[in-house]
Amino acid sequence: MSISCGDNSFLRGNSILHFYNLPQELNDALTRDQLEKQYGSEHDPEKPPRKKPGDKYTLIGTIVGMIVGGVLGSLGTLLVIVGGVVAGGVIGATIGAFIGKRLRSRNR
């Protein structure tokens, strides 16, 4: 039998074929077939491409950019609302003061 004590191969879900006394070449072929059936072929066109050395930095930059963009977008929306309220208040007060002056000058 090809049972090794140190790797806990039975507990990790490896093929039950490892526990039979098969020639190594046949055991490897059966294991490879089983893995290809479970996970797909090594040359499967639907598999994603291999990761390149700088891909993790691209992913981190994308996540940080999304967070910063979301914060700035919400802050920008808040600033636009506050700016609109302040600008509207100033314009309204200016127009009100102008109308008030005209009405007072007419009544005199």
Reported as a single tens digit per residue, the pLDDT across 75-91 is 888 889 999 999 999 99
Q: Where are the domains of the chain?
A: 1-45
Q: pTM of the entire structure? A: 0.43
Q: Is 92 exposed, middle or buried (0-12, 13-18, 19+ CB in 10 A)?
A: exposed
Q: Tokens 């507990």, residue?
A: 11
pLDDT reported for residue 14:
53
Q: Among 38-42, 64-68, 94-98, where is mean pLDDT lowest? A: 38-42
Token readout for 20 is 């039979």
Per-position DSSP letters for 43-85, written without gaps between them: T-TTSPPPPPTTHHHHHHHHHHHHHHHHHHHHHHHHHHHHHHH
Token readout for 105 is 């000058």
User: In sequence order, what are the residues at sequence separation of 6 or more whose Cβ sits closer than 8 angstroms to the Cβ of residue 17?
Assistant: 27, 30, 31, 34
Contact criterion met (CB below 8 Å) for 19 and 3: yes
